[in-house]
Structure 1
């Protein structure tokens, strides 16, 4: 990538400000803006790109995604998943990619130069994602259509017009799920099919959604439910029922067994995984090299964990972990108590942020339980960004079987998903009002997840947020978990590991209980490569920070470093290195 000309003015704090406007009369900048606007509009208007998983929000593109990020132009529409719509979007994006290559990049400066590189990367990825053909096989408990449609009501405003638009969207559910079934049938004809574990999980989710009474249905808005309820019985539930029956009768019998869990078992699976590895890590390391890196990181992290265990009187990590899991004080007996623990922890965390961050405007944040229809197959917690201005970010806590969820894991998870992780970074990103939407709403996995993982450890060594050795042991367990992801993701998708080997590796090397480990492994099977970005991003952010500390000495300021990392929104690791280099040069 060519070097980007960046002019930066960074305060010691973490304040974010709208980038300076483009110089008037800049033809290259105007052309860039036009291409970027048409790119974003094309992405949102019709269909989705499932290979471009957007870090827990869902798949990039389509009306459902638009509503989830607060763009209400397509609220009455539901994604068109037909082959014709997919082909039309691919053609539009190819044309925009070709047009972008005619823009004289040398005439762009500052944020425009950065926007050019980011748009170029996104258009390249959108073009190459077609090799995975995920629309023909993906059945996903985490971000699949059954969960995205069930959550869409949260993105609507409390107006009669919005409820009418929501009813229109939901009325299209029969066509929507019918198209998904048609695509999956086509996949079967090409030996493309999802894992049995994930098909089973989605069938269970669908059964739960079908059984819910209208009074508690997530498809309906909190207010004015009676205006939308008729379409629930006439369209949504029948569509869900037919889709469940289809999965059970046609997909489950031919689904990939546990022994063929990875994408490498599919036609062109190796090429697909190579693309996803590059996309999610931002680099060109081979899966085998990432596998070895994960093992090396595990050895280092486990050495730290052994010291904590020894200080507590145990001769091994396993002994200390077993003692913690047998300690009833490390668990909450009820869902309500587990939720309250998280809310209290969030309040304590917010008060400590000034140690590492300056004047940052945090958006509202709520702590909610994962909905019951999907809690049994869901991860321990996750963050959902605000659906536009005025709406809160949501930290979802899985309260299913609270007696199995150890408290020593709660602290690092909240720091990662809420603050100072995803919610803080998202607040900084959304405050960059002068940036194009494709930069504010979408970003590289290594940056977004790397930042969140970095904050888990930084919350210990810089913010001193952990309550004691048990919580620090939990943090190291979560660090080990992300290192183990390098091992099991490459293991299942490139090295032929089966499901049980992956689950056992996670439970042997992390503090995750088996229930969570199984959910995690099935998540990686549905989102190949995404789990790699966490540790890769954290390692790079720490490398940049240590380099800055060494070169700046007494002039180094942690709040200034964090401001530099957050200042331009999500960028590739290579671009982030240039940004930090500019900050160092301006600080010397």
Structure 2
């Protein structure tokens, strides 16, 4: 009897030890795969180091977008995904589950997107190579002689980089791929500015500005004057003479080869969900109707009208809602940012951040091309993150709009989410690299609503203004790309929201053209966080604590929405267990 019990106990111990051993082996393999993936990304594009904080010694080149390099990169990702899917994952703990979920989502999304052949129609005014390289210039290290040598090598290769871009675009035209003509015209205007700048005014001159080495400064100046500017002009001339006449007139990505499959891949990449264009379109329209109904209630109480255009007109006609100059808009936003920080710390989160955030004007060449305000992270915590604000619309922008965008881009929006995630997480190399719009933009949209709930907004009309645009991106994005809305139909739909002028709506149509699916991410994520919060409130009742819930949303950092739901459902169960 004793022998039997002892044997059973020994067998059970062996089984547990074996299971633990298998789990540990899986974790080791998973982490090696994640590190290999990061190494591959940095090898392909060493400039990723500047936005992620991942270290690299290679500051001498840009990413290689030649067909051969892209093919090799694709093969590496296929091999990575095959190895990842072979891992037994049932017993993974929460941090390892996050690694698995993020790596799988990224690999599957990347490989699905290859059907789009984006390198063959890569003309992009919004976040194209010109914006990326301008940011690289600002962060190019020049502190040592070796770094300055590598800087000259990298920026000396820019003509070849643009030659590859031109070759890809020529191949795209031959195979039926092109960017819309409206986008090409915007990029030509950008090139007109960039190619004619004096070296000291060039957006690529930052390395020389940040060095006290006179020899390096002169060499870099000559590089811009004799190499970079002529290459920019050649690229511009190619677009004007050869590309524009053959570019497509329409916006829809479904007009390209494999366009419908490509758009589905973009939706997956943006939302991390397997939703069809029709499902996103229908959910967007339902949410818009709900927002309009809420605005009508506010309008009846405040303006004695439930008519959306009447309500918006009353708000926008108020002199108190408008700015006197660009400087007035900038100063107002900077002052409001401090209020948002104070209110967020007191009401919405369990701890505030160590890293600061500042507001700076968007660069002229981006703003002139219709680029909007955006958040720019800073991986070095000793330096502030940046909210780059668009100031050109100061005459039409309201104070409510300025508050809402500051909440979205800074606090409690992108800056809070991205910076707090880095400070909370047990940082891994993969977590520094991974991002997805459904989570990041979803949080920022959710933050807009919290700004209302927590009375962060200091203008009384923000409750109306913040409801004008949400979920309309889920309608107009598939409307254009999947259901063949015309440009005018899309403009009319956006203008009817009361949020956009016709000019601003046209800018957004071209943003949708170069970033298919991206506008569907904001409310796909925001609605999911809202649904999870409602579920937590119903189950926890009086014990629900908003600050603890927000901390739980942010705990894992950027994750696919499926993993976010799994994490928060486990958090709710844990909270219930504390009875």
TM-score (norm: length of structure 1): 0.89
Q: 1:166 aligns with which of 128, 148, 151?
A: 151
Q: Distance in 2 between matches of 1:143 and 1:179?
A: 18
Cα distance 1:174–1:68, how it changes in 2: closer, same or farther (>3 A)? same
8 Å Cα contact 1:36-1:436 kept in structure 2: no
Match of 2:232 in 1: 240
8 Å Cα contact 1:156-1:163 kept in structure 2: no
Within-5 A mapping of 1:24-423 = 26-46=24-44, 62-73=45-56, 74-106=58-90, 108-157=92-141, 159-161=143-145, 162-221=147-206, 222-224=209-211, 225-226=217-218, 228-257=220-249, 260-313=250-303, 315=305, 316-353=307-344, 354-423=346-415
Moved more, 104-113 or 502-511: 104-113
Q: Distance in 2 between matches of 1:323 and 1:556?
A: 38
- Residue 432 (structure 1) shift: 4.5
Cα distance 1:585–1:401, how it changes in 2: closer, same or farther (>3 A)? closer
Match of 1:9 in 2: none
Q: Distance in 2 between matches of 1:330 and 1:213?
A: 39
SS at match of 2:359: strand
- Residue 229 (structure 1) shift: 2.1
Match of 1:443 in 2: 435
Root-mean-square deviation (CA, aligned residues, Å) is 2.0
8 Å Cα contact 1:408-1:473 kept in structure 2: no
Q: Distance in 2 between matches of 1:325 and 1:376?
A: 24
Q: Distance in 2 between matches of 1:557 and 1:293?
A: 29
Structure with higher RCO (Cα < 8 A, 6+ apart): 1
Task: Describe the superposition over 1:502-544 as per-residue Cα deviations: whole angstroms up to 9, x where unpaired.
Answer: 1111111141222322222111110111111111111110111
Task: Describe the superposition over 1:334-389 as per-residue Cα deviations: whole angstroms up to 9, x where unpaired.
Answer: 22111111100101111111211012324221100011112122344110111444
SS at match of 1:211: coil
- Residue 75 (structure 1) shift: 2.0
8 Å Cα contact 1:270-1:494 kept in structure 2: yes
- Residue 549 (structure 1) shift: 0.7
Q: Distance in 2 between matches of 1:158 and 1:166?
A: 7
Q: Distance in 1 between matches of 2:555 and 2:571?
A: 10
Match of 1:532 in 2: 520
Moved more, 452-461 or 23-32: 23-32
Cα distance 1:474–1:568, how it changes in 2: closer, same or farther (>3 A)? same
Moved more, 507-516 or 295-304: 507-516
**Pairing 1:548–2:531 present:** no
How many residues are aligned here?
A: 546
Moved more, 242-251 or 147-156: 147-156
Match of 2:3 in 1: none
**Pairing 1:493–2:481 present:** yes
Gaps of 5+ in 2: 1-19, 212-216
- Residue 213 (structure 1) shift: 2.1
Gaps of 5+ in 1: 1-21, 47-61
8 Å Cα contact 1:287-1:490 kept in structure 2: yes
Q: Distance in 1 between matches of 2:410 and 2:503?
A: 23
Q: Distance in 1 between matches of 2:348 and 2:400?
A: 23
SS at match of 1:123: helix
Which of the pair has more CA radius of gyration?
2
SS at match of 1:383: strand
Q: Distance in 2 between matches of 1:297 and 1:379?
A: 26
